[in-house]
Amino acid sequence: MSKDFIDDKKLEDILAQVKPTEEKIETIINKSLNKERLSLEETATLLQADKPEWIERIFKGAEELKNKVYGDRIVLFAPLYVGNKCINNCEYCGFKASNTEIDRCTLTIKELQAEVKAMEKKGQKRSILVYGESPDYDADFIAKTVQAVYDTREDKGEIRRVNINAAPLDVEGYKKLKEVGIGTYQIFQETYHHETYQRVHHSGPKRDFKWRVTGLDRAMEAGIDDVGIGVLFGLYDWKYEVMGLLEHTIHLEEKYNVGPHTISFPRLKEASNVSIDDKYFVNDEELKRIIAILRLAVPYTGLILTAREDAKLRREAIKLGVSQIDAGTKIEINGYSDDDDEQDINREQFVIGDSRSLDDVIYELLSDGYIPSFCTACYRLGRTGEHFMEFAIPGFIKRYCGPNALLTFKEYLEDYASEKTKDVGEKLIQEKLAEIEDEKTKEKIEAKLEEIENEKRDLY
């Protein structure tokens, strides 16, 4: 295989050579708190810091960084599965070509729009479209489905930002998606370990490690600089995989001057016709370490924690640095319009852990003092990398993100919230307003909140 930018031996060697000490850990955490991205060696030092008191220190550092940089907003979104046909045989996935037990289907544009309407009725404003890999799902098809989502509007609202999770494309393909205005293009490498990659990808185009790992380079070349990376934890050693994510980040930074907009860290879940080898199983404590270390290693990226995880773990992990979660999630095809709470393993890619409604998740976030945000202002104003803006521009959160979170949340309270969520939510908005020191800013936000009460929408 020709060389790519992931050198397994280099990453394993760094992990083997570092020797964590209390002092080193302290210096590294302080570097993150100064908003600098960590090096491979520094990240390896945090990964190898196994003593309980060191782990505690890393958790504290990550919490402090999250509060300092991102504050108390959590961005909400929901995935939408467009089609589950697939020509690959990924050992871990229910959609793999060899699985004859699942129903294969692709939403028609009419069905897709019914799904979107059902999501909009619950209050969703941001979605990620998910596709298997099939000649049917080429760039033209993906572009058409994205456009159909943007064109769908329910009474009170619409999906305002569409992200994509699909197979890697060529440069021409990405250009078509740029034209229809996608948000983030996500591709998870699954594992950065070449040997493991070959072992779990039995057949199909996805077997080509290099084509996949350079998939986001081609997106960048096509002008899409808002990209997301990820690892499917449970396939190989988690410490190595975090090093892989960082090496990928460094590669994008060095070559295109911009790192990934988001990092995802799904864990392997039970799926139709999949038997999972638990050799590299990542437990809850390890997942929390992954999140905290990623938070510190790449302070400017958004971290996404999905509903694959259960409600309890999500609640604990959010404070360590997560910036986006999905809520009210349905991953079976036609799942939102069916509105059936039962999960059916033969209709979905894997089994989810948190099947609560959007309103229930929001209620819990509020109880924990977070402001749920449906903000899409950066994307709509042509500013790519919303999390990067928050991170890089002093005062940006105070001036834009905080107020926009309040406004989009107020829309939710007016249009979709249950009584109990509305009660707690209105109180929290008042508390947040009281915290704003600048009188002029406060007045402006109050005026806009009033406009929302008077039926105006989409203010930012």
Phi, psi of 79 (to 5 degrees): -80, 150
CB of 168 to ligand SF4, least distance (A): 10
Q: Could you tell which of ligand SAM, ligand SF4, none binds residue 266, using a CB distance below 5 to 8 A set by kind? A: ligand SAM
**Farthest CA pair distance, the chain:** 63
CB of 113 to ligand SAM, least distance (A): 21
Which C-beta is closer to ligand SF4: that of 115 or that of 133? 133
Q: What is the rounded CA–CA span in Å between residue 250 and residue 267?
A: 23
Site string for ligand SAM, 208-237 (x = CB under 6 A): ------------------------x-----
Q: Could you tell which of ligand SAM, ligand SF4, none binds residue 241, using a CB distance below 5 to 8 A set by kind? A: none
Q: What is the rounded CA–CA span in Å between residue 140 and residue 342?
A: 33
CB of 336 to ligand SAM, least distance (A): 17
Which C-beta is closer to ligand SF4: that of 273 or that of 418? 273
Q: Does 132 bind ligand SAM (CB under 6 A)?
A: yes
Q: Does 390 bind ligand SAM (CB under 6 A)?
A: no
Which C-beta is closer to ligand SF4: that of 133 or that of 364? 133
CB of 102 to ligand SF4, least distance (A): 11
Measure CA 319 to chain center.
15
Q: Which residues 158-187 are close enough to bind ligand SAM by CB under 6 A?
A: 165-167, 187
Q: Could you tell which of ligand SF4, ligand SAM, none binds residue 96, using a CB distance below 5 to 8 A set by kind? A: ligand SF4
Which C-beta is closer to ligand SF4: that of 30 or that of 203? 203
Q: What is the rounded CA–CA span in Å between residue 71 and residue 435?
A: 13
Nearest to 99 by CA among 238, 231, 272, 226: 272
CB 74 within 8 A of CB 42: no
Q: Does 188 bind ligand SAM (CB under 6 A)?
A: yes
Phi, psi of 201 (to 5 degrees): -105, 95
Give exposure, 8-47, as e/b (b: 16+ Cβ within 10 Å). beebbebbeebebeeebbeebbebbeeeebbebebbbbbb
Q: Does 93 bind ligand SAM (CB under 6 A)?
A: yes
Q: Does 89 bind ligand SAM (CB under 6 A)?
A: no
Q: What is the rounded CA–CA span in Å between residue 138 and residue 140?
A: 6
- # residues near ligand SAM by CB under 6 A: 22
Name the helix (H) or strand (E) containing 414: helix 402-415
Backbone conformation region of residue 256, classed left if phi is above 0, alpha if psi is from -120 to 50, else beta:
alpha
Q: Does 330 bind ligand SAM (CB under 6 A)?
A: no
Give me the residues that bind ligand SAM (CB under 6 A), please: 92-93, 95, 130-133, 165-167, 187-188, 190, 232, 266, 268-269, 271, 274, 308, 349-350
